[in-house]
Amino acid sequence: MLNRAINFELFLSISILFLGVSFYLVWVFVGYARIYFTDFVSFRADDGWCSVPGESIFTHCFGDYAVLSYYLKEDRIPWLVGDPMSSFYPASSWIPAKIFHEIGLYFENYNLGRNLFLIALSVSLLFPAINAMKGKGVLAKFALFSVIGISSTPFLITLDRGNSIGLSIAPLTLAILALTKNRPEIFSPLVILAALIKPQLALFFLLLLAVAKYRLFFISIFLYMFFFFASFTFFPGVASSNIRNWFLTIVKYSSYQELTDLYPINLSLDRTLLTVLQVANFDSEQISQNMISTLGILGNLLMLLIILLLIYRRDSKANVVSISMLITILIITISGISYAYYLIILLVPISFILKDLPNDSRSSRAEIPNQISRFSKRETLLASFDKLVLLLTSLILAPLYFPIKFFPNLQESLVLSDSSVNVFQVFWGPVLSLIFILVAIGSVFNYDYSSIKKV
């Protein structure tokens, strides 16, 4: 592959530069303007989902974890039609947090359960960074541990929210690793486990089709569905009623936040399309929510079709890592509302791309003239896509923030009254779509974003 080691250096260099810029912005905005980092990168610190003080760390409750105590303390049913607090999460998504809540209840110490949960969450979130570090030099390992680990935006947001999606990252990383080592029988149970935490991750079962494990694909789907519905028996109420009420609740999920609202940031394809039209100064009177929703559905269907076509052509035109990247972006954008903690999934395929890139570019630099003479213009162009994918990814992963109120024209174009929006996050959706396009084009032309071949 053309100049891959230099791509690795470029990714790390830009990522570290972005971290430096982020520190400077924190210094200026927090120190001088009292505009807080957590508010603009994740969510307001005083999220109000627990007793302050007592159950919080300072003013913060880690809301997505703390909300479960609302149900457990009063032995409430999480899924009640008409209840404004009815949960959009299925039972299987609540079980990991429920285990830690039960530990806290058993020892009559809420903070013990929460702290154990946060430790488990942090360890799981670091699996992609640990995976990418394999085979790298000492300095590269430390840099990767930071830029796709503890300093990355997805890590910070997921930990800040206390969202259980982080617990799915460890099994998902191990699942992709198993598949690259030709171990689909290990891949399957790990994806079942990850998808029980977040149902959208079931789309990764498509990778079994990419390696021609059709029987295992259907068995995995069956087992996943069995455990998914069985998990409702672990909560108060009748399981069948809970399942029905959850379905009735989830169909209303897209109306939970207005499409025009960008706080907290919405990464759905619907919102991405609206952002592009607004920034392009498209006549707002011609933009209806129904039109955007329809275009979003068609766009997601097109993304799924592209993935299936690449899987169909797997023998010569696709590989596990490229398809994983495409599936990841589809998962992030497919829901009508998709919050920023879903970006944590992006770390998994990126870790495999970075893992395969050599980190010593000295020999690569010496070989560039000979390589250029051997590679066609098309291959050279596709290699530039490789760089662009890494650069765009580093932009998303960096914890950068800049309040939109300093860009009044952009705020007016986006029709935003809330100045709490982070300018960088406004463009995360379009950037993800661009990454999807670049990786899809590269896969069509047999460009290997990782040298991990089909298994």
Question: Range with the lowest mean pLDDT among 111-115, 131-135, 426-430, 445-449?
Answer: 445-449
Query: Which pair of structure tokens corresponds to residue 446?
Result: 């047999």
Whole-angstrom Cα distance, residue 454 to residue 68? Answer: 41
pLDDT digits (tens, 9 = 90+) for 342-386: 999 999 999 999 998 876 555 444 444 554 444 556 666 666 778
pLDDT at 170 (0 to 100): 98
Residue 450 lies in a domain: no
Question: What letter does residue 231 receive in the DSSP assignment?
Answer: G
pLDDT digits (tens, 9 = 90+) for 46-100: 888 888 888 899 999 999 999 877 777 667 788 887 777 788 899 999 999 899 9
Instruction: Give the residue from 260, 264, 190, 236 showing the smallest Cα distance to 87.
Output: 236
Query: Which pair of structure tokens corresponds to residue 118?
Result: 């946060």
Residue 455 lies in a domain: no
Residue with tokens 């071949």: 453
Dmax over CA atoms of the chain, in Å, equals 71
pLDDT digits (tens, 9 = 90+) for 286-324: 778 888 999 999 999 999 999 999 988 765 445 888 999
Whole-angstrom Cα distance, residue 306 to residue 454? Answer: 18
Burial call 39-56: b when 16+ CB within 10 Å, e when fewer: bbbbbbbebebbeeeebb
Whole-angstrom Cα distance, residue 130 to residue 402? Answer: 30
Q: Judge whether 308 and 440 are in contact, CB under 8 Å.
A: no
Give how far the C-alpha of residue 17 lies from the chain's centroid of Cα atoms, to the nearest Å. Answer: 22
Residue 401 lies in a domain: yes
pLDDT classification of 281: cutoffs 50, 70, 90: confident
pLDDT digits (tens, 9 = 90+) for 221-275: 999 999 999 999 998 889 999 999 999 888 877 667 888 888 889 999 999 999 9
Q: Which amino acid is at 295?
A: L
Mean pLDDT (the chain) is 87
C-beta atoms surrounding 199 within 10 Å: 17
Residue 454 lies in a domain: no
When divided into structural domains, the chain yields a total of 1
List, in sequence order, every residue forming a beta bridge with 60; answer none if it has no partner.
57
What is the domain extent for residue 35? Answer: 4-444
398 phi and psi angles, rounded to 5 deg: -75, 135
Residue 94 lies in a domain: yes
